[in-house]
């Protein structure tokens, strides 16, 4: 691709991102029965009224995860991925969203060096999410996450986690361009012929900053 074409595409992309719309940036801290602690940072940009896209990076210290379908308790993971947000319906009181986070996973196995040093994987987190305004500042978030995960490498396990019945609940408090949120997940999981997580719990607290022209009274919520 020559320089002119590269500049042309870069110009169009810049124009797209400069459209009058909101952007969101945030960070969250959490803990789950997979991980002792999880840190997440993200940036999300509203591309159209109904569609937003962004990036998310996550680091975690392992509590209980599986490598080659064998449980380990020591190691770390890094996730990097794309987040797509689709607004399905919105009124003054509520908004219904479908969010899809697709993350590449790198796992460093500090416990079992006889297993692969690192494990490459893919995690898909489709979420159906309801945002319901309880007051001007407080919003209730609830919905379902159908987490699916795959392990690649020498021992591929494509059903490491099958779509699971995970319920999520959260509350966010917003003032001007600032939001803080508490979010919890709970629900059964399955996959890898039973050699996987059987139940999932996670709780996290996050902060999000909104900038750009306000286009919706609801903040993006994917902490």
Q: How far is the CB of 165 from another protein (least distance, A)?
A: 4
Residues that bind another protein (CB under 8 A): 1, 5, 8-9, 12-13, 15-16, 19-21, 46-51, 69-71, 88-94, 96, 128, 130, 132, 140, 142-144, 164-165, 167, 169, 186-190, 192-195, 198-199, 215-216
Tell me, what DSSP letter sits at residue 20?
S
Cβ proximity to another protein: between 21 and 208 the closer is 21
Cβ proximity to another protein: between 27 and 132 the closer is 132
Helical ranges in the chain per DSSP H: 3-17
The structure tokens listed for 183 are 């979010």
Q: Assess contact for 66 and 34: CB atoms under 8 A.
A: no
Q: How far is the CB of 39 from another protein (least distance, A)?
A: 25
Q: How far is the CB of 125 from another protein (least distance, A)?
A: 16
Cβ proximity to another protein: between 47 and 78 the closer is 47
Q: How far is the CB of 106 from another protein (least distance, A)?
A: 23
DSSP 3-state assignment of 34?
Answer: coil
> CB neighbours of 102 closer than 8 A, spacing ≥ 6?
81, 82, 84, 122, 123, 124, 125
What are the respective helix, strand and coil percentages of the chain, to the nearest 5?
10, 65, 30
Cβ proximity to another protein: between 58 and 87 the closer is 87
């Amino acid at each position: 691709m020559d320089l002119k074409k590269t500049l042309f595409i870069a110009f169009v992309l810049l124009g797209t991102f400069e459209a009058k719309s909101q952007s969101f940036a945030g960070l969250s801290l959490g803990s789950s029965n997979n991980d002792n602690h999880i840190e997440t940072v993200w940036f999300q940009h509203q591309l159209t009224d109904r569609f937003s896209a962004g990036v998310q990076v996550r680091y975690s210290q392992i509590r209980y995860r599986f490598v080659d379908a064998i449980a380990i308790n020591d190691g770390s993971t890094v996730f990097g991925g794309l987040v797509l947000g689709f607004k399905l319906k919105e009124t003054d009181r509520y908004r219904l969203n479908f969010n899809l986070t697709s993350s590449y996973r790198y796992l460093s196995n500090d416990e079992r060096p006889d297993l692969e040093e690192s494990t490459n994987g893919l995690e898909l987190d489709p979420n159906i999410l309801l945002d319901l305004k309880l007051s001007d500042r407080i919003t209730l978030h609830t919905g379902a996450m159908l987490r699916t995960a795959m392990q690649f490498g020498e021992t591929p396990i494509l059903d490491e986690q099958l779509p699971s019945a995970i319920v999520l609940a959260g509350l966010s408090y917003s003032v001007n361009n600032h939001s803080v949120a508490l979010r919890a997940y709970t629900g059964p999981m399955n996959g890898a012929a039973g050699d996987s997580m059987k139940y999932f719990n996670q709780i996290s607290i996050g902060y999000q900053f909104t900038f750009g022209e306000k286009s919706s009274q609801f903040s993006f919520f994917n902490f």
